[in-house]
Amino acid sequence: MTGPIADDVLIALAQHRFDQADRADATQEDCRQLRDIFSAVLQRLREKVEITRDLVCIG
């Protein structure tokens, strides 16, 4: 089992998937992989927003 990946790694992976899917000769698999990573990026963003919201409410 693997642990959560670091933010920088997630961003780099998402950028790579985006670049692959944005090519003129992109395959359906490239697009599927982009959709798969997009949900992880959204979840991470939700977590960051929640943490930030909690910090603002405390301060």
Under 8 Å between Cβ of 49 and 19: no
Confidence of residue 4 (pLDDT cuts 50, 70, 90): confident
The residue extents of the domains of the chain are 7-58
Smallest Cα–Cα separation from 6: which of 56, 49, 48, 54? 48
Q: For residue 49, what is the enclosing H or E element?
A: helix 28-58
Residue 18: what residue type?
A: F
Q: Tell me the pLDDT band of 1, cut-offs 50, 70 and 90.
A: low
Of residues 1 and 21, more confidence is placed in: 21
pLDDT digits (tens, 9 = 90+) for 19-53: 999 999 999 999 999 999 999 999 999 999 999 99
